Amino acid sequence: MNRFWIWLTRFASPPVFYRVAGVWRPWLGIGALLIGGFSIYWGLFHAPEDYYQGDSYRIIYLHVPAAWMSLFAYVVMAVAGAAALIWRTKLSELTVLACAPIGAGFTAITLLSGMLWGRPTWGAYWVWDARLTSELVLLFLYLGVIGLASAYGDLRRGARAAAVLALVGVVNLPIIHYSVRWWNTLHQGETVRLFGESSIDPSMAWPLLGAALAAKLYFGWSLLGRLRLALIETESDKAWVAQALDIQPDPDQRQNGAEQRASTKAAPEDPAHA
């Protein structure tokens, strides 16, 4: 256990994480591109047509992975938030900030693709379906987290406030989901689902699983990229950043870095001015 903690703290140190993330990222990107491209191509042009929904069901290869990821990103954000509040490590705080826009993007794609699927299937772009309604509330939760984090001037304090909100949100998420489902059955009968409990043909299922895997890989790719950029931004006065950006480091950068360690923002002023 002890050794694991040592490994973890070393891994979470900015220069090490920046380097390791840089090694993993291309693989995640290539994997997402290959698996996603192949699955979606297969789903769009080779999988059989759905008996009830016709071709329009092919939107599931986008909609369902995006919906899964919108929840997954929120959970990752909440876990990172718990870590940020308990251990106060910079990396977990930055993870909270980085997850929110990716998750909000997945949620927006889920909503838009759901609307575009709803028009040919239900005859309307928006139907107060239980899943779509929960996704809409989820989008508002994401917007709240993003808004709160950016309202604080200080990056790390904003991240910790966002972490509290993310944790409160993740506790409420299942409650919201089940209450909306209850509300839905109260007001209207069952509707055709984009991806219901009914069994689906294997020739339709495996491209879906492939697309879901690709979405996970893409999430990792985007998250690592955002974390690397955030590390550069918050540590821009350290010597390792210059190296990471292929810039000749300043000879006196080291002592300036030590002076500025207290400030976490990318301070635009030179320390010599202060």
Partner 1 sequence: MLEWLESHGHWGFITASYAIAALALLIDVIGQRIKRNDLKRRVLERQARRQLQRTH
Partner 2 sequence: MELSLTTAFRSALKRDLQLAWRRRGDLLHPFAFALLVATLFAIGVGGESQLLRAAAAPVAFLAVLLALFLSVDGLFRPDRDDGQLDHLLVSPVPLSLTLAARLLAYWLVHGLGLTLAAPLIALLLRLDWSLLPLLMGALAICTLGMSAIGLIGAALTVPLRRGGMLLALIVLPLYVPLLIFGCGAVVAGGEASAAPLLLAAALSVFLTTLAPFAAAIALRLGVD
List of residues contacting partner 1 (CB under 8 A): 40, 44, 54-56, 58-59, 62-63, 66, 102, 105, 108-109, 112-113, 116-117, 119-120, 218, 222, 225-226, 229, 232-233, 236-237, 241-242, 245, 247, 250, 252, 256, 266, 268, 270, 272
Partner in contact with 272, chosen from partner 2, partner 1, none, beta carbon below 5 to 8 Å by kind? partner 1
Q: Which of 202, 140, 137, 232 is nearest to 175 (CA)?
A: 137
CB contact burial 141-162 (16+ within 10 A = b; e otherwise): bbebbbebbeeeeebbebbbbb
CB-wise, 197 or 252, nearer to partner 1? 252
Partner in contact with 160, chosen from partner 2, partner 1, none, beta carbon below 5 to 8 Å by kind? partner 2
CB-wise, 180 or 214, nearer to partner 2? 180
If phi over 0 gives left and psi between -120 and 50 gives alpha, with beta otherwise, what is residue 50?
beta
Taking the complex as a whole, the smallest distance from the CB of residue 240 to partner 2 amounts, in Å, to 27
Half-sphere exposure of 132 (CA within 13 A, CB side): 17
Partner in contact with 147, chosen from partner 2, partner 1, none, beta carbon below 5 to 8 Å by kind? partner 2
CB-wise, 186 or 247, nearer to partner 1? 247
Partner in contact with 77, chosen from partner 2, partner 1, none, beta carbon below 5 to 8 Å by kind? none
Give φ, ψ of 153 to 5 degrees: -65, -35
DSSP, collapsed to helix, strand or coil, labels residue 40 as helix
CB-wise, 190 or 270, nearer to partner 1? 270
Helix H or strand E encompassing 250 = none
Helical spans, DSSP H, in the chain: 2-11, 14-45, 60-87, 90-122, 130-151, 155-187, 202-234, 239-244, 253-259
Taking the complex as a whole, the smallest distance from the CB of residue 241 to partner 1 amounts, in Å, to 6
CB-wise, 55 or 190, nearer to partner 1? 55
Q: Which chain residues interact with partner 2 by CB under 8 A? A: 85, 137, 140-141, 143-144, 147-148, 151-152, 157, 160-161, 164-165, 167-169, 171-172, 175-176, 179-180, 182-183, 186
Taking the complex as a whole, the smallest distance from the CB of residue 76 to partner 2 amounts, in Å, to 19
Residue 120, C-beta contacts closer than 8 angstroms, at least 6 positions apart: 53, 54, 56
CB-wise, 245 or 258, nearer to partner 1? 245
| Distance, CA of 56 to CA of 43 (rounded, Å) | 12
| Distance, CA of 96 to CA of 237 (rounded, Å) | 23
Taking the complex as a whole, the smallest distance from the CB of residue 225 to partner 1 amounts, in Å, to 5
Taking the complex as a whole, the smallest distance from the CB of residue 192 to partner 2 amounts, in Å, to 23
Taking the complex as a whole, the smallest distance from the CB of residue 186 to partner 2 amounts, in Å, to 6
Give φ, ψ of 50 to 5 degrees: -75, 140
Q: Which two tokens stand for residue 142?
A: 């994401």
CA 148 to chain centre: 17
